[in-house]
Structure 1
Amino acid sequence: MVNYNCACLVNIEEKSIFLVRSYDNNKYYLPGGKIEDNESFDDTLLRELKEELSLNIKKNEITFWKSIEGPAYPNTKETVLLNCFLYSGENFDYKINNEITDAKFFSINNTDIMAPAVLKVISALEQDGYV
C-alpha cells in the first residue's frame, strides 16, 4: 500500500543528481512533494519547486519519466510512490525556502547520504541509460 504519493524532479548533470534535505532529516531526497487532491502530478511538482526552491520552472521543461515505489523516509515501514519528472531546462537558479535546509548536486555514487527511495531512482536511471 502506498502511504505517500509524490511528484518529484530528477535533475541530472553528468553523473550527479540534484537532491534536497529538510530540517528534520539526515538523508537527502528528490525535490518535490505530496500530490494534493484534484492536483495533477506536474502542477504539484511546479508548486512544490516554487515553494521550496523559488524555482519558476515551466511545464515544457519537465517530462514525466516513470513512477518508482520505495520505502518512505524517515519512516521506512511506510511506502512512497515517486512520480518522477526529468528536467530539461537550462536555468536552474534555486534559493532554499520553507523546510529545506540544504540543496545541491551529489555524485550518484554518494549513496550513503540518500534516502532509500532515491537509491531506487538511481538504479532506474542507470538501467535506462541516463547516468
Structure 2
Amino acid sequence: MPSPIDKIAWILLREGRVLSTRSHGKDVYYLPGGKREPGESDLGTLVREIREELSVDIEPSTAEHVGTFEAQAHGHRSGVTVRMTCYTARFTGELTPANEIAEIAWLTLADRTRVSPVDDIIFTHLHDSGLLR
C-alpha cells in the first residue's frame, strides 16, 4: 500500500462558507494548500502554498490545527489516498488567485458534489461542528 499523499490545507471560513480553489483545467474545487517539500514543516508548507496560490501572507502565530483527514485521492488510481492536515490562520493581503489557481469560490455543504473526496469529509466535519452552512 503506498503512503498517503501528504498535503496541508488552509480553512478560511466567512459567514458559514469556506474558501475553496479550482486549478486551471480541473473540474473540482479543493481547499487551498498543497504538498509539503522535503524537510518542510506544516506551517512552512501552509505559508508558502497560500502565498503561491492566493497572494496573501499567513500569520503563523495564529495557526490552529482543525484536524487531519484521509480519503481516496481525486484523479488517482484506486487505493491512492491523500492525508490532509488542516489549519485555520489569520492572513494579511487581498485574496487573489495566482499561479495554477483559476478561481476562488466560497462554498457551503450544498457544494459537496463539486469538491474532492477528502474535501467532502472536511466539509461534513465543518458542518457538524456548526461552522459551515
With structure 2 as the length reference, what TM-score do the two structures score? 0.88
Alignment-derived partner of residue 83 in structure 1: 85
Mapped to 2, the partners of 1:37 and 1:51 lie a distance apart of 17
Q: Counterpart amino acid of 1:7?
A: I
Query: What CA deviation, in whole Å up to 9, does each residue of 1:62-88 have, x standing for no partner?
Result: 21121100121222622000000023x
Distance 1:119 1:76, change over 3 A: farther
Deviation at 1:113, TM superposition (A): 1.2
Moved over 4 A (4+): none
- State the Cα RMSD in Å: 1.7
**Contact (CA 8 Å) 2:36, 2:45: kept in 1 or not?**
yes
Mapping of residues 1-131 of structure 1, within 5 Å: 1-75=2-76, 77=78, 78-87=80-89, 89=90, 91=92, 93-131=94-132
With structure 1 as the length reference, what TM-score do the two structures score? 0.89
Mapped to 1, the partners of 2:15 and 2:67 lie a distance apart of 20
Distance 1:63 1:76, change over 3 A: farther
Deviation at 1:107, TM superposition (A): 2.1
Q: Secondary structure at the match of 1:29?
A: coil
Q: Which runs of 5+ in 1 are unaligned?
A: none
Deviation at 1:18, TM superposition (A): 0.4
Mapped to 1, the partners of 2:124 and 2:77 lie a distance apart of 18
Q: Which range moves more in the overlay, 109-118 or 46-55?
A: 109-118
Query: Identity over aligned residues, as a percent?
Result: 25
Q: Secondary structure at the match of 1:109?
A: helix
Q: Which runs of 5+ in 2 are unaligned?
A: none
Mapped to 2, the partners of 1:107 and 1:130 lie a distance apart of 10
